[in-house]
Structure formats: C-alpha cells, structure tokens
Structure 1
Amino acid sequence: MSEQLQEGLIRISDDVVATIAGLAALETPGVAAMSGGMSEGLAKRLSGKNAQKGVSVEVGQLEAAINLRIVVLYGSPIQEVGRRLQESVREAVENMTGLRVVEVNVKVEGVAFKDEAGAEQEEALTVRVK
C-alpha cells in the first residue's frame, strides 16, 4: 500500500502486513502454531521474529488478501477457530494499516496435542540456572 500525501508518500510493505497477520493469528485461541512446527510457533510468540511463517499476502493500493497455514490444538472446534482467526487477523490488519482486507483464507495443516504444546512451551519458558 502507498498513499500520496502533501507531506510525502507512505508505503506499507507486504512483509509488514504478513507480520501483523502472523502475530494476530498466534494470539487466536485454539491456534497452536503457524505451519512449520511447534517450536517455531513458540519462538514467534516470544520474540516476534519470523512471524511471517505460514503467512502469505497480496497487497494492493487499497486492499489485501491473506492466506494462513495453521496447526490447531486438539479438541478445539476447527470451524470456530477458523472464523475467530479470520476475524482477528482482518481486524488487526485493517486497524493498523488502513487497508481493506478482502479475504482471509485459512488452511489447517495439523493438530497439536495439549501435552505436546504445553511441554514445549513450558520447556522453552523455564529458566535453568546451574
């Protein structure tokens, strides 16, 4: 997106839109990780780095289309998680960029068990002092 103002030009890169979408997706209940593995998903949550994993975007002058690949937590209602995900990503991108999000497509590529997700998160968050 770019907008010509009297003071100059404002451009929002595709990477910025993808990062916003990825971070919003990871905050959605029922989403265990973006496609690519549990530890990568946790790293993204903790650091914000590589938040574009599992996200592709098409950004025009006024609109954006977003594709997400996710792993859901076992027992989560997938349709409901998908709808919440679409809503939260759309809201985050529109509020932060001013772009109109025309579609948010979600592909569920895996299921994570709470024990696996919890164990990896707990292990990563535990500080070990020797």
Structure 2
Amino acid sequence: MDFEQGSINISDEVLKEIAFRSFLEVLELSADDKDAKKLKKNIEIERTPDDNVIVNVKTVAPYGKSLVEFGKKIMQNISENIQRMTELQVSAVNVSIIDVVEKIEPAEEEE
C-alpha cells in the first residue's frame, strides 16, 4: 500500500496470524494454548497479482452441527478481521473440512 509518506507492506506471516486467531475464535480456543498453536500449520496464505488475499484453511468440524454454517462462520470471521486490520481485500477464504469429530481438540486437527 503506497501513501504520500511512503508504503506499508504486510507480510504473509502477519496475515496468517490474523487468520489463525480468527479461526481460533470460531473454535472457541485460546491462542495461548500450546496445542492450539499446532493448528496454525493448517492455514495457508496466497496473494493474487492484484495483492488481494486468499486464505486456505483445513479443519475438522463438530459432529451434529451444520458443516456449511461452521465453514461459513470461519470464512466470515477470517475475512472480516483481515480486511478490518489490514485494509487488504480478501478474495476468498477456502475451508476444507477433512473430518467430523465429537469435540474439536487441537491435536486432532493435525495432518
């Protein structure tokens, strides 16, 4: 992002951290939990040629809940937080649900 005074560059690692914390909010897990930190590897950041952001998330979902609603909640939270904090446009948040479980535990989401 260029401004009269200079430019601001936001790294992919910063975007990944925002997406990670937004993801944890939906899962209702704390970022301080050492097991939750393992989930960060399930998030990938891509940039389009226009410098828009694409976020890819792999997750398990809670059994008995609407998988579509669960995925939408993740998409919305990540997209809103990245756009609000960085003013970058989020082109897509792709959620891949790889399994369903009784209770979401950080260790179970590793792949």
> Normalising by the residue count of structure 1, what TM-score does the alignment of the two structures yield?
0.67
For residues 6-44 of structure 1, give each alpha carbon's deviation from its aligned partner in whole angstroms, at most 9, with x where no partner exists: 33221100111111111111211xx48xxxxxxxxx674
Runs of 4+, deviation exceeding 6 Å = none
Count of aligned pairs? 104
Identity %: 29
Q: Which has the higher contact order (CA 8 A, sep 6+)?
A: 2
2:41 alignment counterpart: 53
Partner AA of 2:62 in structure 1: L
**Bigger CA drift: 88-97 or 71-80?**
71-80
Cα distance in 2 between the residues matched to 1:51 and 1:4: 33
Counterparts of residues 38-117 of structure 1 (less than 5 Å): 44=31, 46=33, 49=37, 52-60=40-48, 62-114=51-103, 117=105
For residues 84 and 107 of structure 1, do their structure 2 counterparts lie closer, same or farther at Cα, with a shift above 3 Å needed?
Answer: same
Partner AA of 2:46 in structure 1: E
Cα distance in 2 between the residues matched to 1:99 and 1:49: 25
Query: Which ranges of structure 2 fall in alignment gaps of 5 or more residues?
Result: none
Which one has the largest radius of gyration?
1
> Normalising by the residue count of structure 2, what TM-score does the alignment of the two structures yield?
0.77
